[in-house]
Amino acid sequence: MAKVAIVTGGTRGIGEAISLALKDAGVTVAANYAGNEEKAKAFTEKTGIASYKWDVGDYDACQEGVKQVQADLGHVDILVNNAGITRDGTILKMTYEMWDDVMRINLGGCFNMSKAVFPGMRERKWGRIVNIGSINGQAGQYGQVNYAAAKSGIHGFTKALAQEGARAGVTVNALAPGYIDTDMVAAVPADVLEKIVAKIPVGRLGQAHEIARGVAFLCSDDAGFITGTTLSLNGGQHMY
């Protein structure tokens, strides 16, 4: 029987690539999204992957969303916490709402979704949780105290939850992308983006499918001895 995965923010950008990579690996995928119903519908029509709308920053919505996926597709074996937003600005200009929105969705969403699927994974003695962090959670970034804090928090969350799941066959890992050629990065001004690329040793932006391959591996049976780790895919931009 095919395993079932939920990919949050799974209909666009890196999330879309992850959803497709897992489908190609024989997994039944549910792609969560929060906003654009038109694009989600187009994604489902194009890929055949079911899409489900709820806000990962809303605890109760996550509980209900997971219940619906399980009713439709079966118990959830794999969770990829990919959903994230940016609300950039220096701390002098950042409002509390900008801080809270990013923390609630980017970090809070990891808790809300993991809380909904972790008990079942432990009970069945198999599970994979992959949390999408960021190079900016590892190295920091000017004008992103909210985003960097949330993504850095994901790495600590991953290590702690990995210890809770290890003996029950549930692995919890993180993947930290560098700058990837997606709509989010495309919104960066051209002159700023040029300076960013100049600092990447491989000399280019990453591609979404390169991140997706890493996620698919961490979700596989072959990755059963890997837990509590962060896989950094950043073209050598940040090494430590």
- What are the strands of the beta sheet with 170-177, ordered from one edge? 50-53, 28-33, 4-7, 78-81, 127-132, 170-177, 230-233
With a cut of 90, say whether residue 9 has pLDDT above it.
Answer: yes
86-130 pLDDT, tens digit each? 999 999 999 999 999 999 999 999 999 999 999 999 999 999 999
Who has greater pLDDT, 196 or 64?
A: 64
Who has greater pLDDT, 183 or 98?
A: 98
147 tagged catalytic: yes
Degrees, nearest 5: CA angle 187-190-193: 80
Domain containing 146 equals 4-233
SS3 assignment, position 215 = helix
Tell me whether residue 190 is in a domain. Answer: yes
With a cut of 80, say whether residue 184 has pLDDT above it.
Answer: no
Residue 188: pLDDT band (50, 70, 90) is confident
* Angle, in degrees to the nearest 10, between helices 13-24 and 37-47: 20
CATH number, domain of 77, equals: 3.40.50.720
SS3 assignment, position 23 = helix
193-219 pLDDT, tens digit each? 888 899 999 999 999 999 999 999 999
Percent of the chain whose pLDDT exceeds 90 = 87
Tell me whether residue 101 is in a domain. Answer: yes
Tell me whether residue 240 is in a domain. Answer: no
Tell me whether residue 150 is in a domain. Answer: yes
Number of domains in the chain: 1
* pLDDT of 126: 98
Among residues 52, 59, 142, 147, the one annotated as catalytic is 147
Tell me whether residue 239 is in a domain. Answer: no
Residue 16: pLDDT band (50, 70, 90) is very high
Tell me whether residue 238 is in a domain. Answer: no
* pLDDT of 189: 85
What H or E segment, with its residue span, contains residue 30? strand 28-33
Per the prediction, the chain carries an average pLDDT of: 95
Who has greater pLDDT, 192 or 70?
A: 70
Tell me whether residue 14 is in a domain. Answer: yes
* pLDDT of 140: 87
26-54 pLDDT, tens digit each? 999 999 999 889 999 999 999 999 999 99
Mean pLDDT value of segment 148-163: 97
